[in-house]
């Protein structure tokens, strides 16, 4: 079993045949297999087991314990249909050491007849305690004759199922693919020159091992995804994804883009008019963006920085450069609330400089929207702020040169790509500036965002005082209400974030309304306002404006205020049912306070009893205010999938690899990618096809 890395072995084509070339696979089965991503025989090898079972030895019935998954053998003593609440088939077996009941809720008459007294059965299933001793519910079983039937020699793989493809059938098909691969080795698209990490098996060996692990294999190591065979595949999968992103970036960088020279010096004038100076980190990020904007190829830059580090001004300065060069820039925000806030900020900044800023969002009045769109299409407005409504069909920009996406973790890769296509004009792609507060470690970011250049703002504006976070049980709500009175009396403002009772908007809104009503009854001297996602835009706007202007002192809100909202005079935040929220969300929410020079407090109310994980999360958020640190702890608590979000990176659906667990492979993934790009470009499309499939997102690969 030697992998071939050079010229294609002719026999390898056997594996490239459609699955229908296998005996007994017709069109119907092929279609169902398609749902597992299988169309060619080789694809079967990449349907990897979810877990394994040890059926290599038979356990005596007398030694079974509840909770154990085991293979057993015994002779049927009795089979009967009984009614215990519902109709069921019970079959009692014995092996001399003990007895076991098999319980079936779904069964046929033929099945019943097959389980006659005296029949020998081999069963596999989970042992549990039943009403009359140990039992297995719906075990896998087969009849065995008087002679000893050989046991499995390897661990039994359990595959992900898709409707209409039974486990046994899939196992057999993978077995056939494995036999084919013994005759004609699978092509290994990673040439020796690309340097596989030391100690990893060949591709063929890795696959053979994972589909048929030997009896002595370490199940714990396999379950943790740390076996060298898994790492071999993880390396290849990460490489495939990384390469496809790099190829995409490379393709993009061959396109021409406008050079934004800012003849009008608008960016300089914008910065000079700000009431503060940029921090060093902001200056660095802006300088990097400006270098890209003047280079003549499309910028694709990600600005990463913790909540409150001041990404908006950096974006605005870039927009100023576009406008000052006679082009248009647009800033897209994930919520209307944030879009409106950005619009007001930009309007206030740019109005004195003679620039009009337009707002486009889904819920604004038809008339206002139509006139904004007309002005954008005519090129009368050079800076437009909005939600994704900005990129719906039918919206035309006259001279769009820069697309800024704020809080991009809320958008998908797809949306981002669509948006650049929209801006394509005269064969030129707009520049992209993407802003995110989701902190991920650098090597990880370089792989996950390989299609982007990355700037990091790792410094907060001066004069911020750290937020004091306290965790308090709900019973002490009254104390918390007193704190609001104190804050308001001191001329400060507060947020009250309502619980996530349900996924339904309706119920959230209702809860927010009730909370607002009860708080305003409890706080007679305090002006209470309310915002939630279902409010008409004008009402939401009015509430936010009133809060910003200090006319509302306590703002009761749903998590709509999670991203971006900026009111520096707000120094107290109360979050109800904090135990239900994830760390990233709590960190984002808390980032709404601590934006001024005054000390801020965040009160996390929880409902007892706390589950251990919830307790740990609250402890982390109380102890740390550093987004990177919180992200790291979050990863340790629950794994990377959720934190990174599956939508925001190009590495949406990893099958074997895990960005965090396999992070140590990343430097070598990056090196190998360079080798393939330089010397084996023809292998890249094949790798992408194997691991990513013909996903349209990767259309430009290869
Ligand atoms: P985020 O990075 O979370 O989007 P914002 O852009 O909303 O942060 O900025 C947070 C607050 O900090 C805003 O009120 C903004 O005006 C202010 N700010 C930004 N940069 C500076 C700076 N260099 N000095 C002082 N305040 C700043
Ligand atoms: Mg922001």
More confident residue, 504 or 284: 284
Question: What's the pLDDT at 345?
Answer: 93
In sequence order, the 6+-apart residues with CB closer than 8 A to the CB of 13 are 184
- Which of 278, 286, 302, 312 for mutating ligand 1's site (highest number of atoms within 8 Å of CB)? 312
Pick the CATH number of 467-624 from 3.40.50.300, 3.30.450.20, 3.30.70.60, 1.20.5.510: 3.40.50.300
pLDDT classification of 692: cutoffs 50, 70, 90:
confident
**H/E/C letters for each residue in 223-271?**
HCCCCHHHHHHHHHHHHHHHHHHHHHHHHHHCCCCCCCCCCCCHHHHHH
Kindly report the protein residue whose alpha carbon is nearest to atom 9 of ligand 1: 310
pLDDT classification of 283: cutoffs 50, 70, 90:
very high
Torsion of CA 509, 514, 519, 520, to 10 degrees: 100
CB atoms within 10 A of CB 260: 27
Highest average pLDDT, of 14-23, 166-175, 263-272, comes from 263-272
Task: Say how many Å lie between the CA of residue 582 and the centre of ligand 2.
Answer: 19
**Could you tell me the two tokens for 535?**
């409010």
Asked if residues 21 and 127 have their Cβ atoms less than 8 Å apart, the reply is no
278 C-beta closer than 6 A to ligand 1: yes
Residues with CB in 5 Å of ion ligand 2 = 564
Calpha distance 641→178 (Å, rounded): 31
Question: What's the pLDDT at 504?
Answer: 67
Calpha distance 472→325 (Å, rounded): 53
566 C-beta closer than 6 A to ligand 1: yes
User: What is the CA angle 290-405-555, rounded to 5?
Assistant: 120
- Say which range, 172-181, 412-421, 496-505, has the weakest mean pLDDT: 412-421
Burial class (CB in 10 A: 0-12, 13-18, 19+), 627: buried
Asked if residues 659 and 444 have their Cβ atoms less than 8 Å apart, the reply is yes
Torsion of CA 417, 419, 420, 424, to 10 degrees: 130
Question: What's the pLDDT at 648?
Answer: 43
Question: What's the pLDDT at 195?
Answer: 86
Per-position DSSP letters for 512-574, written without gaps between them = HHHHHHHHHHH-TTS-EEEE-TTS-HHHHHHHHHHHHTTS-SEEEE-GGGGSS---TTEEEEE
In sequence order, the 6+-apart residues with CB closer than 8 A to the CB of 443 are 663, 666, 667
Residue 451 in this model has a pLDDT that exceeds 90: no
pLDDT classification of 525: cutoffs 50, 70, 90:
confident
Question: What's the pLDDT at 334?
Answer: 82
Calpha distance 316→350 (Å, rounded): 9
Residue 318 in this model has a pLDDT that exceeds 70: yes
Taken in order 439, 445, 448, 454, the sign of the CA dihedral is positive
The closest-lying atom of ligand 1 relative to the alpha carbon of residue 457 is 2
Q: Which ligand is nearest to the CA of 407?
A: 2
Domain with CATH 3.40.50.300 in the chain: 266-457, 467-624
459 C-beta closer than 6 A to ligand 1: no
Nearest Cα residue to 474 out of 576, 356, 552, 588 = 576
Question: What's the pLDDT at 2?
Answer: 44
Pick the CATH number of 266-457 from 3.40.50.1970, 3.40.1190.20, 3.40.50.300, 3.10.180.10: 3.40.50.300
Task: Say how many Å lie between the CA of residue 559 and the centre of ligand 2.
Answer: 15
Average confidence score pLDDT of the chain = 86
Domain with CATH 2.40.50.140 in the chain: 57-151
Q: Which ligand is nearest to the CA of 409?
A: 2
Task: Say how many Å lie between the CA of residue 538 and the centre of ligand 2.
Answer: 22
Q: How far apart are the first and last CA of the chain?
A: 28
Q: Is 321 helix (H, G, I), strand (E, B) or coil?
A: helix
Kindly report the protein residue whose alpha carbon is nearest to atom 27 of ligand 1: 461
Kindly report the protein residue whose alpha carbon is nearest to atom 5 of ligand 1: 310
Q: Is 122 helix (H, G, I), strand (E, B) or coil?
A: strand
Place of tokens 């002679």: 147
105 C-beta closer than 6 A to ligand 1: no
Task: Say how many Å lie between the CA of residue 312 and the centre of ligand 2.
Answer: 6
Q: Is 211 helix (H, G, I), strand (E, B) or coil?
A: helix
Burial class (CB in 10 A: 0-12, 13-18, 19+), 197: middle
Q: Which ligand is nearest to the CA of 439?
A: 1
- Which of 305, 310, 567 for mutating ligand 1's site (highest number of atoms within 8 Å of CB)? 310
- Say which range, 4-13, 31-40, 113-122, 394-403, has the weakest mean pLDDT: 4-13
- Which of 311, 318, 455, 461 for mutating ligand 1's site (highest number of atoms within 8 Å of CB)? 461
595 C-beta closer than 6 A to ligand 1: yes
- Say which range, 418-422, 557-561, 629-633, has the weakest mean pLDDT: 418-422
568 C-beta closer than 6 A to ligand 1: yes
CATH class in words for 57-151? mainly beta
Q: Alpha carbon 190 to chain centroid distance?
A: 28
Task: Say how many Å lie between the CA of residue 313 and the centre of ligand 1.
Answer: 7
Q: Tell me the pLDDT tens digit for each residue of 344-386.
A: 999 999 999 999 999 998 777 788 888 999 999 999 999 999 9
Q: Tell me the pLDDT tens digit for each residue of 533-586.
A: 788 877 887 888 899 889 999 999 987 776 667 888 999 999 999 998 888 888
pLDDT classification of 417: cutoffs 50, 70, 90:
low
- Which of 307, 308, 314 for mutating ligand 1's site (highest number of atoms within 8 Å of CB)? 308
pLDDT classification of 701: cutoffs 50, 70, 90:
very low
Nearest Cα residue to 601 out of 493, 505, 459, 451 = 493
Task: Please indicate, yes or no, whether the overall pTM of this predicted structure exceeds 0.75.
Answer: no
Strands (E), 85-229: 86-94, 99-104, 120-130, 133-137, 140-143, 156-158
In sequence order, the 6+-apart residues with CB closer than 8 A to the CB of 681 are 702
More confident residue, 179 or 447: 179
pLDDT classification of 236: cutoffs 50, 70, 90:
very high
Question: What's the pLDDT at 429?
Answer: 87
Question: What's the pLDDT at 501?
Answer: 55
């Amino acid at each position: 079993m030697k992998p071939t890395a050079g010229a294609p072995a002719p026999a390898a084509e056997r594996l490239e045949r459609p699955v229908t070339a296998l005996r007994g696979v017709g069109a119907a089965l092929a279609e169902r297999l398609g749902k597992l991503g299988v169309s060619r025989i080789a694809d079967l090898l990449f349907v990897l087991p979810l877990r394994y079972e040890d059926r290599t030895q038979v356990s005596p019935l007398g030694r079974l314990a509840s909770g154990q998954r085991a293979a057993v053998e015994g002779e049927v003593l009795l089979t009967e249909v009984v009614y215990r609440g519902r109709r069921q088939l019970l079959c009692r077996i014995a092996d001399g050491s003990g007895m076991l009941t098999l319980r079936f809720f779904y069964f046929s008459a033929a099945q019943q007849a097959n389980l006659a007294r005296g029949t020998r059965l081999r069963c596999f299933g989970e042992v549990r305690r039943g009403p009359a001793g140990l039992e297995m519910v719906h075990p896998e079983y087969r009849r065995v004759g008087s002679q000893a039937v050989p046991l499995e020699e390897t661990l039994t793989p359990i595959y992900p199922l898709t409707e209409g493809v039974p486990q046994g059938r899939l196992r057999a098909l993978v077995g056939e693919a494995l036999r084919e691969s013994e005759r004609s080795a699978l092509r290994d698209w990673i040439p020796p020159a690309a340097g596989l990490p030391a100690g990893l098996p060949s591709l063929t060996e890795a696959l053979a091992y994972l589909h048929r692990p030997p009896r002595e294999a370490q199940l714990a190591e396999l379950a943790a995804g740390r076996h060298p065979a898994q790492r071999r595949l993880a390396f290849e999968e990460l490489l495939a994804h990384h390469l496809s992103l790099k190829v995409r970036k490379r393709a993009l960088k061959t396109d021409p883009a406008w050079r934004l020279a800012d003849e009008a010096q608008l960016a300089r004038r914008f910065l000079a008019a700000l009431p503060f100076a940029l921090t060093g980190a902001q200056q660095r990020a802006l300088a990097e963006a400006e270098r890209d904007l003047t280079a003549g190829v499309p910028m694709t830059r990600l600005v990463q920085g913790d909540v409150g580090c001041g990404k908006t001004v950096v974006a605005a300065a870039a927009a100023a450069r576009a406008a000052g060069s006679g082009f248009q820039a647009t800033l897209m925000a994930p919520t209307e609330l944030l879009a409106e806030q950005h619009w007001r900020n930009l309007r206030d900044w740019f109005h004195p400089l003679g620039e009009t800023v337009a707002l486009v969002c889904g819920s604004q009045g038809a008339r206002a929207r139509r006139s904004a769109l007309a002005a954008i299409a005519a090129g009368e407005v050079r800076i437009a702020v909005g939600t994704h409504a900005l990129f719906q069909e039918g919206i035309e920009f006259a001279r769009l040169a820069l697309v800024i996406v704020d809080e991009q973790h809320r958008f998908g890769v797809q949306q981002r790509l669509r948006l650049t296509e929209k801006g394509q004009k005269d064969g030129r792609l707009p520049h992209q500036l993407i802003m995110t507060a989701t902190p991920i470690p650098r090597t990880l970011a370089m792989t996950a965002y390989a299609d982007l250049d990355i700037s990091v703002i790792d410094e907060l504006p001066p004069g911020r005082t750290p937020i004091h976070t306290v965790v308090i049980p709900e019973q002490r709500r009254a104390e918390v209400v007193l704190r609001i009175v104190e804050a308001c009396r001191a001329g400060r403002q507060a947020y009250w974030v309502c619980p996530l009772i349900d996924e339904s908007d309706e119920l959230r809104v209702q809860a927010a309304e009730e909370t607002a009503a009860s708080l305003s009854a409890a706080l007679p001297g305090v002006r209470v306002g309310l915002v939630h996602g279902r409010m008409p835009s004008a009402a939401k706007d009015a509430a936010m404006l009133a809060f910003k202007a200090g006319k509302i002192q306590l703002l009761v809100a749903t998590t709509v205020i999670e991203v971006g909202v900026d009111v520096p005079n707000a120094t107290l935040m109360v979050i109800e049912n904090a135990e239900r929220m994830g760390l990233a969300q709590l960190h984002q929410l808390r980032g709404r306070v601590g934006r001024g020079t005054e000390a801020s407090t965040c009160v996390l109310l929880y409902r007892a009893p706390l589950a251990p994980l919830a307790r740990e999360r609250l402890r982390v958020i109380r102890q740390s205010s550093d987004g990177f640190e919180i992200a790291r702890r979050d990863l340790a608590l629950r794994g990377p999938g959720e934190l990174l979000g599956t939508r925001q990176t190009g590495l949406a659906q990893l099958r074997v690899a895990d960005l965090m667990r396999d992070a140590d492979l990343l430097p070598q993934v990056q090196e190998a990618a360079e080798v393939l790009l330089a010397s084996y470009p023809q292998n890249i499309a094949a790798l992408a096809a194997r691991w990513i499939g013909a996903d349209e997102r990767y259309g430009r690969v290869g």
